[in-house]
Amino acid sequence: MTMSAHEVSSQLMDQMMDEGLLPDPDGVAVIAVSGGLDSTALARLLGPPLARAGVEVHLAHVAHGLRGAESEEDWSFVDALARDLGLPVHRLEGSVAPERTRAIGVEGAAREVRYNALADLANRLGASSIYLGHHRDDQLETLILRHHEGVPAARNAAMPARRGRICRPLLGMSRAHLHALGKTERWGWRNDSSNGDLRFARNRVRHELLPALRRESPDALETVLRLGQAALSGRAALEVQLPEARQRVARRDGPERWRLDRAEVASLEDDLAILLFQSLCGGPHRCDRPPSRQALLLLLAGVRAGGRARLFALGAGWFARVEGNIVLLSPQPIGYEESGAGSQDNQDLPQAVCTTSLSATEAQLVLDSADAPGRELAVFDWERVRHPLRTVETGSGRWMQPYGMAGRRKLRDLLAEAGVPRSERASWPAVVDARGEVLWLPGIRASAEASLQPTSERALLLYTTAPRLLACVRTRDLTIGASPQSQAFENIGG
């Protein structure tokens, strides 16, 4: 028999007291509410008892505007919910930046906006706790997604019930439990239509993989959770060492730029070095998505190897340069300024292709430090490129004049020579200019079209963080990093 909301709420408060998730009786708390089942349940179960205990409770709704009229209906629902509960509510506006969408995908970029907006509100209110509605199924989905991204079980840490001000009191409850409770209590909630879009990896896990595992191997899900908790304990032990390592190894070299001692980084144990990199690449509220473990392992290998300077695209919007005795980390390609014109003129490029404007001299430095110019990145004369750029599928009839080769070649022939499986050649992306001329076959070769000249003054740099494309680069023992969090051209226009 399903417990009543009052019983569940009382049990939840007891659990939160045991886990140290309750604010002080005269404190301030923020509950994030999207309008969906999970956050609506959290607000109803947690808001009233906290308020009765003397806590100043605020509901907060982040409006991205990504879903048009649906977004406005979400806000109307949350506003009505707040009135029903007798709690103040804040509408937080947050636009998703195109460059972050290209770097980590629309889901990741929207998540950053939410967390940062909530942290800013908590700062203004003096709140000690920000409550999120993540539950047991969210935990499973996250652990499974990280496993498929290549994170080893020993390092695939579960979401903690508390990290800083972020609290997740519902991690012990399943989605089915919350749904049954909501139906029994006749709560209303909003259904996000995008949650059924199977183009998103999390939705495929939620709607296809998890139901199959529950039917065929329910014990496996408990094992996933148990391993996640064990990894969380291991991460906590590493985090004890992090402050000393950070003080010894890293110093600020600008607002969002870090300079690290290469020898000190090389001496760190792998997991501590990766945790250090991720802590430096995290946002000011430690909620921005950092580069993946795989990308940082490639960077760490480059730090420990000798040789000339190397530029690493780490994914998640971060870059590193290893040169001499230093390692530089920056959200821009090291030494270059991000061009507003680049992002505005080429917005049709998918998130796995990034563009940067730089001087011709700087572009030559990039080419000199790249292991495979033309494959991992491509440089063109800005003034000769016909903007805007876009991506198209290679198909069967597209040609290009490869840089450094005589005559024009079929793109599919170039892909075949690079070892791309026949089944993938037709859908392989190509970057084309406004007239449809192919400029770049990512991971394979650049075109001679609009190539950099001795008289060039301004250059356009194209590079990719897509694992699918960089697989070709990696087979040639290159050191550019790829983040599995990036979407590998799943939606190619053209």
All domains in the chain, ordered by first residue: 5-217 (3.40.50.620), 337-494 (3.50.40)
Q: pLDDT tens for residues 249-270?
A: 999 987 778 999 999 999 999 9
Specify the pLDDT at position 285. Answer: 42
SS3 annotation, the chain: CCCCHHHHHHHHHHHHHHHCCCCCCCCEEEEECCCCHHHHHHHHHHHHHHHHCCCEEEEEEEECCCCCHHHHHHHHHHHHHHHHHCCCEEEEECCCCHHHHHHHHHHHHHHHHHHHHHHHHHHHHCCCEEECCCCHHHHHHHHHHHHHCCCCHHHCCCCCCEECCEECCCCCCCHHHHHHHHHHHCCCCCCCHHHHCCCCHHHHHHHHHHHHHHHHCHHHHHHHHHHHHHHHHHHHHHHHHHHHHHHHHEEECCCCCEEEEHHHHHHCCHHHHHHHHHHHHCCCCCCCCCCCHHHHHHHHHHHHCCCCCEEEEEECCEEEEEECCEEEEECCCCCCCCCHHHHHHCCCCCCCEEEEEEEHHHHHHHHHHCCCECCCEEEEEHHHCCCCCEEEECCCCCEECECCCCCCEEHHHHHHHCCCCHHHHCCCEEEECCCCCEEEECCCEEECCCECCCCCCEEEEEEECCHHHHHHHHCCCCCCCCCCCCCCCCCCCC
Query: Residue 371 above 80 pLDDT?
Result: no
Q: pLDDT tens for residues 220-239?
A: 999 999 999 999 999 899 99
- Quote the mean pLDDT of the chain: 83
What's the pTM value of the predicted model, to 2 decimals? 0.64
What mean pLDDT comes out for the span 373-397?
84
Specify the pLDDT at position 164. Answer: 86
What mean pLDDT comes out for the span 339-348?
40
